[in-house]
Structure 1
Amino acid sequence: MLRTVVCAGALAAAASLLPGGPVFAADSALLPRDLSPWGMFRNADIVVKFVMAGLAVASLASWTVWLSKTTELRRETARAREGLARLETDVTLAELRSTDEAHDAVAQLVQSAAREASLSDWTFDDAFKDRVALRLERVEAAMARKIARGTGILATIGAVAPFVGLFGTVWGIMNAFIGISEAHTTNLAVVAPGIAEALLATALGLVAAVPAVVIYNYLVRGIANYRALLGDASAQVLLLVSRDRGRSARLMARGG
């Protein structure tokens, strides 16, 4: 008699787990039908949705900065090379100022030095070269700040995005285990979709962070090369100033 009851209970439990059984039906009702990335996003908790959306926006911002700053950096570097080539011709500062109609960084270096010469009445005394060097340093710093503007967000995204994704993962896994408790079942199929959504947040964090770090390092190297070109141009301007000063001294000696 007892054996018959036990067998009957086991058969009933097994039947409940079969497709169409009450336990299987209850577990299946808890599962989202779409496990694609978009489907997991739609079925995710509101907090995880905000995390995913924020990481997607951060990734888009990284690529936008890469496109805009790469274009700007290549354009300004090419202009700096052209300006440096102009400076290497054997001309005076006054001639270069009158013939240079460009608006690139090298042209601003020349204009700054020429302005100091104009304020000094083109008198090349001992302190003139120091004043020109100070002006050139200020122009270099201003140009470097301009070309580097907007790259700081890449460092922020690269440092913060993985932790934001980790927060979304922790929150999603916590909700998945809460769902297990509320469903009164230990079926892994119930918790698997929630864990998948949580891991998607981590993946999005890495997708946002890794390109941001690579792009930031690439732009930093490009900016360093650009600053080196400006340094060469400043040195060339100082050479022009030194030549003009030498010519002025020779003319004064002949006149005396």
Structure 2
Amino acid sequence: MSAMSIAGVGVTATSSALSPIALFLQADIVVKSVMIGLLLASIYTWAIILSSGLKMGRTLKASKAFEAEFWKSEDIDKVYDGPGRQDVPSAKLFTAGVGEWRRSVRITPVDREGTRARLATAMSAATSAEIDKLSDRLNILATIGSVAPFVGLFGTVWGIMRSFTDIAASQNTSLGVVAPGIAEALFATAIGLFAAIPAVIAYNRLLHRVGQIENHLHRFGDSLHLTLSRELERVK
């Protein structure tokens, strides 16, 4: 067999040994645990990204639809007893505001300034509650994004330590002996980055989306507050 053929076989064997599956199978239990944990974190990250993204899109669309229906209506009580009962952030804010308004105007004489303050507080609390629901799992993305690289680095350090131990035991420092262990160790870092990068990007993007929805709810709340304040002037 020619030298070129032998070299070709050697390159093929080395490439197979350095494939992702081979690197995982060759790793010891500690590095394997790190890799499996990071892969599970990556899967969970994408589940949160997809579910949260879809939820926020549906939420904003439903809120806009409710607001359009509300502004077209001339009877606040009719909206309160009908669409106002929907499980939509804008509807929840509306229900909180109108509910407080109804309770306040039952007390005579009506304290207009106190009622306005209570309306603002009730709608602000409803907005905060809805925003908390939307951003419930975003902290998990932030945690994975910040911790995953260090977990991967731990796997890398452990794998390199194991490689040096093997080198010392075999008394052989050739590339064929060193490469698989080093590649296996670096593969752990690569998986850590694979889990962390989407988590960080998605966290920032979804946090921005939550901020947009919050601002939208605040604008609706301010407009509703003005409307109820005008209604309050008609109360004797």
Q: TM-score, normalised by structure 1?
A: 0.80
Q: In 1, distance between residues paired with 2:206 and 2:154?
A: 29
Q: Which runs of 4+ in 1 moved over 6 A?
A: none
Where 1:103 maps in the other structure, the secondary structure is coil
Where 1:186 maps in the other structure, the secondary structure is coil
Where 1:120 maps in the other structure, the secondary structure is helix
2:202 paired with 1:209 = no
Percentage of matched positions with identical amino acids: 38
Q: CA RMSD in A?
A: 1.9
Residue 122 (structure 1) shift = 4.5
Report how many aligned residue pairs link the two structures.
Answer: 220
- Please say if residues 93 and 240 of structure 1, whose CA atoms lie closer than 8 Å, have aligned partners that are also in contact: no
2:3 alignment counterpart:
none
Counterpart selection for 1:113 from 91, 97, 101? 97
1:240 alignment counterpart:
227
Residue 90 (structure 1) shift = 6.1
- Please say if residues 144 and 195 of structure 2, whose CA atoms lie closer than 8 Å, have aligned partners that are also in contact: yes
- One-letter amino acid of the counterpart of residue 34, structure 2: V
2:217 alignment counterpart:
230
Q: In 2, distance between residues paired with 1:116 and 1:77?
A: 24
Structure 1 gap ranges (5+): 1-18, 20-30
Counterpart mapping for 1:82-93 below 5 A: 82-89=65-72, 91-93=74-76
- One-letter amino acid of the counterpart of residue 72, structure 2: T
Which whole-Å deviations, capped at 9, do the CAs of 1:71-105 have from their partners, x for residues lacking one? 11001011111222234336353243134243211
Which whole-Å deviations, capped at 9, do the CAs of 1:207-227 have from their partners, x for residues lacking one? 011010011011001100110
- Please say if residues 167 and 173 of structure 2, whose CA atoms lie closer than 8 Å, have aligned partners that are also in contact: yes
1:11 alignment counterpart:
none
2:138 alignment counterpart:
151
1:102 alignment counterpart:
86
Which of these two proteins has the greater Rg computed from alpha carbons? Answer: 1
Counterpart selection for 1:161 from 148, 154, 174? 148
Structure 2 gap ranges (5+): 1-5, 7-13
- Please say if residues 73 and 79 of structure 2, whose CA atoms lie closer than 8 Å, have aligned partners that are also in contact: no
